[in-house]
């Protein structure tokens, strides 16, 4: 009898290790962080990976599953992993940003991330959340709907993860260290990648690219993830329309488009019907940048290959949008609406307890050892965030004073014409300042780009929450006029949103998840420069309204 129980337990455990469509409430994963030679990318330098794979393994789960990931650090760097977009209700200890919710997992150490997926289904992703390791330490999270619950669109014949990345021939840590030292912008990357392949990049011709084999007339769901460090990307497939059905693990009203825009941190599910003539079609990922800022302009390519067509047939090409195609980007963003069906409602907060306006932008501070005697920095409301030396969540939970203050300005201290003539003084303040929110309070946050140095699109990511994007516009936000045109019915719900270059975006959320939650630009260089802050959300009163205590293996600093 006991043997049988043990046997069944082993079978259940094994089943949970595979993406099988098996009812399984606890998913176990083991992530070994190891070095791996990256020969596929025309370089023999070792890169940091999970389990030797680039991109890393896909984590499969179902809505309501508990996920346990044991991360073991076998490299010389400190490591932590973030489960990007997972709500982490009351489990901030498993969120992952180093020095925000945990101390790093040091070389030779391990940590078990333990979280339950509640009220979410779709595509998210995981990535390292320390240094610039996420360049190669990332992978998909596929959350299937509860067993027996269909998608709110025709079920695809097959589902395929498409991870877009950004690749440096040099060691990425050397690239960012060099930039920190000089105070200037880092070298741009050498290529973009689709599922780890750059496609035919000059000097790297032999390796080919990612190929998706399709059968004519069948429909495929592409789970698109932008894992690039610093670049928003356009995604196109020659000769095919794409139907967008979900972003950031929330369903949207389906719409057709030629081109998808996807910012670092964002995910987008698209349906692709193989309804063109049999043959081979180019898949292209190219950068979007509508400011005078140097980016890597190399288009990554892959192919769509119809079964039955000869392998040497000419690939039908596509022209990516120009790099500065603001109109294409804006059209895409403006097409996104929550599905807002009976089953998947958009619960937009209709009243607001906290009205916040945060400016986001670049600044310049003195630096005697830097190349120009100054360093480029970035800020929110003129505060360039300084990382603490123990995690903010520990300081909050254990009442450790002196780690942070909760006086982050809810509005700019010195209002000015943010998108007009830039002020003569480009300096910022530094500090580890948080904004405190009462449990269950409703927040409206307007993110306002500034023209300091140059206006730029900033994809801001909020941890621990989804928010509803109620409005967006050019120039300065007008608190009297602009709220009148807010969409409070079916705004898109997501966790990462691009603040338009020289414009603003407004979103709302309910602070129903106690803990400390990071908010930052998902352009890694801007995060490094200080474009980040955190909210501290107090516990509520009832059961289930408090942050859980930390697990016993929480890393120490």
Ligand X SMILES: *[C@@H]1O[C@H](CO)[C@@H](O)[C@H](O)[C@H]1NC(C)=O
Where on the chain is the footprint of ligand X (CB under 6 A)? Answer: 35, 37, 44, 46, 68, 78, 103-104, 106, 114, 170, 174-175, 178, 187, 297, 322, 324, 326, 372, 374, 376, 382, 398-399, 413-414, 417, 420-421, 423, 425, 427-429, 440, 476, 540, 545, 548, 551, 557
Q: Output the smallest distance, CB 470 to ligand X, in A.
A: 17
Contact partner at residue 160 from Cu ion, ligand X, none, CB < 5 to 8 Å by partner kind: none
- For tokens 């929330």, name the residue: 250
Q: Which two tokens stand for residue 317?
A: 């090409």
Q: Residue 198 phi/psi, 5° resolution?
A: -80, -15
Containing 14, the helix (H) or strand (E) segment is helix 2-17
CB contact at 8 A, 396 and 514: no
Contacts of 550 (CB under 8 A, 6+ apart): 93, 393, 394, 397
- How many CB atoms are located within 10 Å of the residue 105 CB? 23
Contact partner at residue 523 from Cu ion, ligand X, none, CB < 5 to 8 Å by partner kind: Cu ion
Q: Which is nearer to ligand X, 49 or 340 (CB)?
A: 49
Contact partner at residue 372 from ligand X, Cu ion, none, CB < 5 to 8 Å by partner kind: ligand X
CB contact at 8 A, 417 and 405: no
Q: Output the smallest distance, CB 509 to ligand X, in A.
A: 12
- For tokens 């960012």, name the residue: 176
Q: Which is nearer to ligand X, 35 or 160 (CB)?
A: 35
Q: Which is nearer to ligand X, 118 or 187 (CB)?
A: 187
Kindly provide the residue ranges of all beta strands, DSSP E only, lying in 340-417, ordered along the sequence: 354-366, 374-380, 383-385
Closest residue to ligand X, judged by C-beta, is 420
Q: Which residues of 500-526 are buried (b: 16+ CB within 10 A; e: fewer)?
A: bbbbbbbbbbbbbbbbbbbbbbbbbbb
Q: Which two tokens stand for residue 55?
A: 């991109």
Q: Output the smallest distance, CB 332 to ligand X, in A.
A: 15
How many residues are there in the chain? 557
The conformation of residue 465, written as its DSSP 8-state character, comes to -
CA 175 – CA 132 distance, rounded (Å): 9
Q: Output the smallest distance, CB 370 to Cu ion, in A.
A: 20
Q: Is 390 exposed, middle or buried (0-12, 13-18, 19+ CB in 10 A)?
A: middle
Contact partner at residue 333 from ligand X, Cu ion, none, CB < 5 to 8 Å by partner kind: none
CA 435 – CA 296 distance, rounded (Å): 35
Q: Which is nearer to ligand X, 136 or 476 (CB)?
A: 476
Kindly provide the residue ranges of all beta strands, DSSP E only, lying in 232-339, ordered along the sequence: 232-237, 242-247, 250-257, 259-262, 267-273, 280-288, 300-306, 315-316
Q: Output the smallest distance, CB 253 to Cu ion, in A.
A: 28
CA 425 – CA 35 distance, rounded (Å): 44
Q: Which is nearer to ligand X, 129 or 223 (CB)?
A: 129
Task: Name the residue among 158, 138, 167 with its Cα closest to residue 58.
Answer: 138
Q: Output the smallest distance, CB 264 to ligand X, in A.
A: 20
Q: Which is nearer to ligand X, 80 or 495 (CB)?
A: 80
Q: Which is nearer to ligand X, 376 or 521 (CB)?
A: 376
CB contact at 8 A, 60 and 29: no
- For tokens 């003195």, name the residue: 366
Contact partner at residue 182 from ligand X, Cu ion, none, CB < 5 to 8 Å by partner kind: none
Q: Output the smallest distance, CB 88 to ligand X, in A.
A: 11
Containing 393, the helix (H) or strand (E) segment is helix 392-397
Tell me how many degrees the CA angle 504-510-512 measures, rounded to the nearest 5.
140
Q: Which is nearer to ligand X, 442 or 496 (CB)?
A: 442
Q: Output the smallest distance, CB 135 to Cu ion, in A.
A: 17
Q: Which residues of 5-28 are buried (b: 16+ CB within 10 A; e: fewer)?
A: eeeeeeeeeeebeeeeeeebeebe
Contact partner at residue 478 from Cu ion, ligand X, none, CB < 5 to 8 Å by partner kind: none
Q: Output the smallest distance, CB 236 to ligand X, in A.
A: 15
Contact partner at residue 250 from Cu ion, ligand X, none, CB < 5 to 8 Å by partner kind: none
Contact partner at residue 236 from ligand X, Cu ion, none, CB < 5 to 8 Å by partner kind: none
Q: Which is nearer to Cu ion, 452 or 521 (CB)?
A: 521
Q: Which is nearer to ligand X, 78 or 495 (CB)?
A: 78
Task: Name the residue among 66, 180, 102, 70 with its Cα closest to residue 554.
Answer: 102
Strand partners, 354: 443
Rg (CA), the chain: 23
The conformation of residue 500, written as its DSSP 8-state character, comes to P
Q: Which is nearer to ligand X, 80 or 123 (CB)?
A: 80
3-state secondary structure of 341: coil
Q: Output the smallest distance, CB 239 to ligand X, in A.
A: 22
Q: Which is nearer to Cu ion, 223 or 458 (CB)?
A: 458
Catalog residues that contact Cu ion under the rule CB under 5 A: 458, 521, 523, 526
Contact partner at residue 35 from Cu ion, ligand X, none, CB < 5 to 8 Å by partner kind: ligand X
Contact partner at residue 526 from ligand X, Cu ion, none, CB < 5 to 8 Å by partner kind: Cu ion
Contact partner at residue 324 from Cu ion, ligand X, none, CB < 5 to 8 Å by partner kind: ligand X
Q: Output the smallest distance, CB 56 to Cu ion, in A.
A: 25
Contact partner at residue 334 from ligand X, Cu ion, none, CB < 5 to 8 Å by partner kind: none
3-state DSSP helix/strand/coil percent for the chain, to nearest 5? Answer: 10, 40, 50
Contact partner at residue 118 from ligand X, Cu ion, none, CB < 5 to 8 Å by partner kind: none
Q: Which is nearer to ligand X, 9 or 149 (CB)?
A: 9
Q: Output the smallest distance, CB 195 to ligand X, in A.
A: 21
Q: Output the smallest distance, CB 356 to Cu ion, in A.
A: 18
């Amino acid at each position: 009898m006991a043997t049988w129980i043990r046997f069944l337990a082993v079978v259940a455990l094994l089943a949970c290790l595979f993406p099988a469509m098996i009812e399984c409430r606890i998913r176990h994963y083991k992530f070994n962080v190891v070095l791996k030679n990256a020969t596929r990318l025309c370089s023999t330098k070792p890169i940091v990976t999970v389990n030797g794979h680039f991109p890393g393994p896909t984590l499969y789960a179902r809505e309501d599953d508990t996920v346990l990931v044991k991360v073991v650090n076998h490299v010389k760097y400190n490591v932590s992993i973030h489960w990007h977009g997972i709500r982490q209700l009351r489990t901030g200890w498993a969120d992952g940003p180093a020095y925000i919710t945990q101390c790093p997992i040091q070389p030779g150490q391990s940590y078990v991330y333990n979280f339950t997926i509640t009220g979410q289904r779709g595509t998210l992703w995981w990535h390292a959340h320390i240094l610039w390791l996420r360049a190669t330490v990332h992978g998909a999270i596929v959350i299937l709907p509860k067993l027996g619950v269909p998608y709110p669109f025709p079920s695809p014949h097959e589902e395929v993860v498409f991870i877009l990345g950004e690749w440096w021939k040099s060691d990425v840590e050397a690239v960012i260290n060099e930039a920190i030292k000089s105070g200037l912008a880092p070298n741009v990357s050498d290529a973009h990648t689709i599922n780890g392949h750059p496609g035919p990049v000059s000097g790297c011709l032999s390796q080919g690219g990612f190929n998706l084999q399709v059968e004519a007339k069948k429909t495929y769901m592409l789970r698109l993830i932008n894992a690039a460090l610093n670049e928003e990307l356009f995604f196109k497939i020659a000769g095919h329309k794409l139907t967008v059905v979900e972003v950031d693990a929330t369903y949207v009203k389906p719409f057709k488009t030629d081109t998808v825009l996807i910012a670092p941190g964002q995910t987008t599910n698209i349906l692709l019907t193989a309804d063109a003539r049999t043959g081979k079609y180019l898949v292209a990922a190219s950068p979007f940048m509508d400011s005078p800022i140097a980016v890597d302009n190399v288009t990554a390519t892959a192919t769509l290959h119809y079964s039955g067509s000869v392998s040497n047939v000419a690939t039908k090409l596509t022209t990516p949008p120009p790099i500065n195609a603001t109109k294409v980007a804006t059209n895409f963003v403006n097409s996104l609406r929550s599905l807002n069906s009976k089953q998947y409602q958009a619960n937009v907060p209709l009243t607001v307890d906290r009205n916040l306006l945060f400016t986001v932008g670049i600044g310049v501070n003195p630096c005697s050892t830097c190349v120009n005697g100054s360093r480029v920095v970035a800020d929110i409301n003129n505060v360039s965030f300084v990382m603490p030396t123990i995690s903010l969540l520990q300081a909050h939970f254990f009442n450790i004073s002196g780690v942070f203050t909760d006086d982050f300005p809810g509005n700019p201290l010195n209002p000015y014409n943010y998108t007009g003539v830039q002020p003569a003084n480009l300096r910022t303040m530094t500090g580890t300042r948080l904004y405190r929110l009462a449990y269950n309070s409703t927040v409206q946050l307007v993110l306002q780009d500034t023209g300091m140095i140059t206006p730029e699109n900033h994809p801001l990511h909020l941890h621990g929450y989804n928010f509803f994007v109620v409005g967006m516009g050019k120039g300065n936000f007008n608190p009297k006029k602009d709220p009148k045109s807010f969409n409070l019915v079916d705004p898109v719900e997501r966790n990462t949103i691009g603040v338009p270059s020289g414009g603003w975006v407004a979103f709302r959320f309910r602070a129903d998840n106690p803990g400390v939650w990071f908010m930052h630009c998902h352009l890694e260089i801007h995060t490094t420069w200080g474009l980040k802050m955190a909210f501290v959300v107090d516990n509520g009163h009832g059961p289930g309204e408090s942050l859980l205590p930390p697990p016993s293996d929480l890393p120490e600093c």
